[in-house]
Amino acid sequence: MSSPVIIAALAAGLAGFSPPVINMPSAVVRAAGDCSAAAAQVVAETGGELLSAQPTSDGQCVITVLIPGNGGRPKKVTVKVPM
């Protein structure tokens, strides 16, 4: 399962931030106002792996995760949740 720090850094990158790796702590701080918390919640609830987290213009987040299958292909699930 992904850690919240990795999720926050990924969400910051998806939101358009591309800080160097050495500045990762600042990326985590900047990610606080975007979809990182929503993404962490969806990952925790589904047990899946985060594929994407994108904010929408209406204050929601579109979160896509891969949920492992039983020996087969993982299931791709997309949900829209409040930011």
Q: What is the pLDDT of residue 41?
A: 92
Q: Report, as ranges of residue numbers, the positions in the chain whose pLDDT lies below 50.
A: 18-33
Threshold 0.75, pTM exceeds: no
Give the bridge partners for 81, in sequence order. 61
The CATH code of the domain that includes 63 is: 3.10.450
Q: How many domains does the chain divide into?
A: 1
In DSSP notation, 10-66 reads HHHHHTT----GGGHHHHHHHGGGTTHHHHHHHHHHH--EEEEEEE-TTSEEEEEEE
Q: What is the pLDDT of residue 83?
A: 82
User: What is the domain extent for residue 47?
Assistant: 4-82
Q: What is the pLDDT of residue 26?
A: 39
Q: What is the pLDDT of residue 6?
A: 60
Tell me, what DSSP letter sits at residue 4? H
